[in-house]
A and B are shown apart, each in its own frame.
Chain A
Amino acid sequence: MPDLVIDVRNAVKQYGVGAASIFALDDVSLQISPGEYVAIMGPSGSGKSTLMNIMGALDNMTSGKYFLDGIEISAMDENSLSIVRGRKIGFIFQSFNLIPRTSALANVELPLAYQGIKSAERKLRATKALEVVGLADRMSHEPTELSGGQQQRVAVARALATRPALLLADEPTGALDSKSTHDLLDLFDQINEAGRTVIVITHEHDVAMRAKRTIRMRDGKIISDELNSGKVA
């Protein structure tokens, strides 16, 4: 196993050209080791989501290099990236991004199906993932029949079902009440304790404090990167 699960070097993301151009990421470098639990904080528009999307292989950058598990993602083409997305990364969006009018179970099965896993095993693993997030009794419900917290847990189950080494969550608690937030964070603790790398974007201080390391951003730059007091990296 390589020393770093994430190795971002001099990432630049520029939107627009000329005078109107914006640097969403301005020469960002970031290294994360396997098994870390990292929180990313910063004011709105500071580039957190941009960085997260690049780490999740969902977006490209204007310049710079990105290695995931030692593989250079920034050099891969769109076609080969689907394997990386499917196998290595579990991505949780702030807005859930479930497939509409499709049951919770089918949503969780979907990434497994794209990996070519057979229907029976798929069902088993998806059911297990839904049990882990406490939705065993809601498997046949469609997204519109679930509360925000339940939808977010379906999204977490979908991210976990493929057993990715890296879990990325962009403001996963933004739409949740304190109880749901608490449940979700407990889940992240469990996942991290199982040895997986967890990276969470958040605006909330107590959410960030559950992580072991906090990175702060402003204007597309990392302005601080420190271990949370009382925690061991």
Chain B
Amino acid sequence: MNLFEIIRFAFRGLSINKLRTSLTTMGIMIGVMSVIVLIAVGNGSSKAVQDSLDRLGTNSIQIRSGGGFVGGGGIQGARSRGRSSTSKPLTILDAVALVDKVNAPSIKQAAPIANATATCVNGTSTSTPSTFSGTWPSYFEAANSRIAKGTYFTNDDVTQARRVAVIGNTTATELFGSENPIGQVVRCGGIPFTIIGTTEVKGSTGFQDGDSIFLAPITAVQNSITGFVPLSSIIVEAKNSKVTDLAQAEITTILNTRHGIKAGGTADYQLFNQASLLTTSASSSKVFTVLLGAVAAISLLVGGIGITNIMLVTVVERTREIGIRKAIGAPKRIILAQFLIEATILSLVGGLMGVIGGFVGSHFMIVGVQPVIVPSSVFLAFGVSILIGVFFGSYPASRAASLRPIEALRHE
């Protein structure tokens, strides 16, 4: 009896009981699909956490004058605990010096920030943005601030000290309600500013409303509100989140040289970054991954038990049939081959359908999470279900095929 004929036997065996065949296939399919989707949901939500952190700007490093002041972002690279008598303030030239492809290859860009406190008025509405800053256009990218409506201000606006501003969502709502703020004029500290853009909603970082923000060209702010006082800070964007440490080292080298700080001396500035946030996100997504891994393992186990169960029931049902086949002269190996092929077809078809189902299911939002498929989970789920299907499809059959025909025939 050749292989082709055994395969035909296997297909006939499968088609004889269509209900059993489709139930088994469906069991395998659901097992594979649920594992793929579950892991994709876990992966998707940890990606979402990462994305929102990225949106808050995990690449950015803040440089502030002096020491001793510890901000919410964590303290990095600060060696001084008190303002040194020789301390130099941060200047626009410092910011310019940091954008240096040779000495600071990890730094993408830098923007000086001059902070002010001002209350803005539009008719009867007022707003005091928690961040009221004069800066450069490069700020937007460095701080990961994207424009939702309108435009950024330009380098030309900075040169000309134009009184234009980009505001955050909170500030816009406080001043204009549901009206379109673009083109409107507000008075901040008595000075009129034309709103040219609004930033995308950033959300809260936990200690500050990222959307209570008012950004204008640094020249305009210094001219009309703060006067030419030293910079509050410089914001630096590292090339990516992996090189923030390198970028910090480069900043330290450049600023130490510029501020005349010798090795071992105390710095007159401090670096802040989102490292602590990154650490938190890393550990929380690790916990999440472990948790979902456990859930996936359990569902794979449950799915496996389901497959095993159906396969065992199938073989118990078919032990009599195996007895008949043996009684009329079927060699054990042909019975085995038939059942092995049947189990393989079932597992393959069910597994493939599960993979397709997993891919389709992962296209939908699930409990507010956009699932992102992990390729290894597809292979794992597919592989395990095939192994279970093939093993439990053929092992009990091999036991039944080892029985004497009379024993198999007596099987109830």
| A interface list, Cβ under 8 A from B | 53, 56, 58-60, 78-79, 82-83, 85-87, 91, 93, 97-102, 106, 110-111, 113-116, 119, 158, 162
Q: Give the distance in Å from the alpha carbon of A165 to the alpha carbon of B226 in the complex.
A: 115
Q: How far is the CB of B126 from chain A (nearest CB, A)?
A: 83
Q: Which residues of B lie under 8 Å from residue A87 when comparing CB positions?
A: 329
| Total contacts A-B at CB 8 Å | 72
B interface, over-half SS: helix
Q: How far is the CB of A223 from chain B (nearest CB, A)?
A: 24
Q: How far is the CB of B213 from chain A (nearest CB, A)?
A: 74
B327 touches A110 (CB 8 A): no
> B168-176, B370-378, B383-391, B399-407: which one contacts chain A?
B399-407
Q: How far is the CB of B196 from chain A (nearest CB, A)?
A: 78
A82 touches B331 (CB 8 A): yes
Contacting A85 at CB < 8 Å: which of B9, B12, B326?
A: B326
Contacting A114 at CB < 8 Å: which of B12, B330, B409?
A: B330
Q: Give the distance in Å from the alpha carbon of A83 to the alpha carbon of B329 in the complex.
A: 6
Q: Which residues of B lie under 8 Å from residue A102 when comparing CB positions?
A: 12, 16
Known: A59-B404, A60-B404, A102-B16. A114 touches B331 (CB 8 A): yes
Q: How far is the CB of B180 from chain A (nearest CB, A)?
A: 72
Listed by A's residue number, 25 A-B pairs whose Cβ atoms lie within 8 Å are A53-B406, A59-B404, A59-B405, A59-B407, A78-B332, A79-B331, A82-B331, A86-B329, A87-B329, A91-B328, A93-B409, A99-B324, A100-B321, A102-B16, A106-B12, A110-B325, A111-B328, A111-B329, A113-B1, A113-B5, A113-B9, A114-B1, A114-B334, A116-B1, A158-B328
Question: Closest residue of chain B to A115, judged by CB?
Answer: B329
Q: Is B17 part of the contact surface with A, judged by Cβ < 8 Å?
A: yes
Q: Which residues of A lie under 8 Å from residue B404 when comparing CB positions?
A: 58-60, 78
B405 touches A58 (CB 8 A): yes
Q: A58-B406, A82-B326, A111-B328 are in contact. List 11 more A-B contacts (CB 8 A).
A: A58-B327, A58-B409, A59-B405, A79-B331, A83-B331, A85-B328, A91-B327, A97-B324, A97-B409, A110-B328, A114-B1
Residue of A82, A100, A115, A158 with most chain B CB atoms under a 10 A cut-off: A82
Q: Which residues of A lie under 8 Å from residue B407 when comparing CB positions?
A: 59
A59 touches B406 (CB 8 A): yes
Q: Give the distance in Å from the alpha carbon of A53 to the alpha carbon of B328 in the complex.
A: 13
Q: Which residues of A lie under 8 Å from residue B330 when comparing CB positions?
A: 82, 86, 110, 114
Q: How far is the CB of B15 from chain A (nearest CB, A)?
A: 9
Q: Which residues of B lie under 8 Å from residue A86 when comparing CB positions?
A: 328-330
Q: Give the distance in Å from the alpha carbon of A28 to the alpha carbon of B411 in the complex.
A: 27
User: What 0/1 readout, one digit per residue, does chain B (12-55) give for beta carbons within 8 Å of chain A?
Assistant: 10001100000000000000000000000000000000000000
Q: Which residues of B lie under 8 Å from residue A116 when comparing CB positions?
A: 1
Q: How far is the CB of B327 from chain A (nearest CB, A)?
A: 6
Q: Give the distance in Å from the alpha carbon of A56 to the alpha carbon of B329 in the complex.
A: 11
User: What 0/1 readout, one digit per residue, does chain B (311-324) give for beta carbons within 8 Å of chain A?
Assistant: 00000000001011
Question: Closest residue of chain A to B334, judged by CB?
Answer: A114
User: What 0/1 readout, one digit per residue, does chain B (55-96) give for beta carbons within 8 Å of chain A?
Assistant: 000000000000000000000000000000000000000000
Q: Give the distance in Å from the alpha carbon of A27 to the alpha carbon of B286 in the complex.
A: 73
B406 touches A85 (CB 8 A): no
Q: Which residues of A lie under 8 Å from residue B16 when comparing CB positions?
A: 100-102
Residue of B321, B325, B329, B409 with most chain A CB atoms under a 10 A cut-off: B329
Question: Closest residue of chain A to B331, judged by CB?
Answer: A82
Contacting B327 at CB < 8 Å: which of A97, A106, A113, A119?
A: A97
Q: How far is the CB of B167 from chain A (nearest CB, A)?
A: 75
Question: Closest residue of chain A to B330, judged by CB?
Answer: A114
Q: How far is the CB of B238 from chain A (nearest CB, A)?
A: 70
Q: Give the distance in Å from the alpha carbon of A58 to the alpha carbon of B410 in the complex.
A: 12
A114 touches B328 (CB 8 A): yes
Q: Give the distance in Å from the alpha carbon of A114 to the alpha carbon of B334 in the complex.
A: 8
Question: Closest residue of chain B to A106, judged by CB?
Answer: B12
Q: Which residues of A lie under 8 Å from residue B332 when comparing CB positions?
A: 78-79, 82
Q: How far is the CB of A225 from chain B (nearest CB, A)?
A: 25
Q: How far is the CB of B197 from chain A (nearest CB, A)?
A: 73
